[in-house]
A = this chain, B = another copy of it.
Amino acid sequence: MASIENTSMTNALLIHINKFADLSEEQSEKILSCFVSKKYQKKEYILQAGSVSEHECFIVEGCLRAFVVDYKGNEHTLRFGIENSWIGDLDSFFKREPATYNIQALEPTTALMIRVDKMNELMRTMPEFEQYFRIMFQYGVMSLQKRLVQDLTLSAEERYTYFTEKYPHLLQRVPQKHIASYLGMTPEFLSSLRKKISQK
């Protein structure tokens, strides 16, 4: 069965890469050989702030949350990660310095993990792989800039409304307090916003 699973048709990561770069069968196998699959339970930490991030992480199944904890102990969610997306602390991963982000599973999660040496080797030896990450990071910049614009221009209520329209599926999957922290407001205030909106 292993040989079947290791084809571009059945592996979520290879399917994803192939949307942005053309891989040969040989390249596909080479890439997969650099990843290990891991499973995480709900609430389990993939990465804890302070430790060095050993892996960059492609989510095959499940949902994760990246967040920081400020000096008051409040959590601030940077990002939710779902199927077919990448999550990690890039600074920590590439520079091998202590992570500033925590990453925790919100659901039972399956992920493909790669170490920095393998990552660098694939980038160096396989232009298609580097192309794929050029595009991933390019999309990353675009979406982070979009979020920045939202945060700079919209009120709390507008940000929440926008979130419900853009990520309706996350509303079901993610506790409300994490959405509040993602949107930069307290859970109490989000609760009162929802009440106000529902009364309209």
Interface residues in chain A, defined as those with a beta carbon under 8 Å from any beta carbon in chain B: 68, 70, 74, 76, 78, 90-91, 94, 100, 123, 127, 130-131, 133-134, 137-138, 140-142, 144-145, 147-149, 151-153, 181, 184
Contact = CB atoms under 8 A, between A and B. Distances in A.
| Copies per complex of this chain | 2
Given A90-B138, A100-B149, A147-B148, 13 more contacts: A68-B149, A68-B152, A70-B153, A78-B145, A78-B148, A94-B138, A130-B130, A133-B134, A133-B138, A134-B134, A141-B141, A148-B151, A152-B184
A78 B144 contact: no
A99 to B, nearest CB: 12
Contacts of A140: 137, 140-141, 144
Given A127-B130, A140-B137, A142-B91, A151 B78 contact: no
Given A68-B153, A140-B141, A151-B184, A123 B134 contact: yes
A193 B29 CA distance: 58
Contacts of A127: 127, 130
Most buried by B among A91, A127, A142, A147: A142
Most B Cβ at <10 Å: residue of A127, A145, A147: A145
A102 to B, nearest CB: 12
6 closest residue pairs by CB, A with B = A137-B137, A144-B144, A134-B134, A76-B152, A127-B127, A140-B141
Contact of A145 (B131, B144, B151, B153): B144
A118 to B, nearest CB: 16
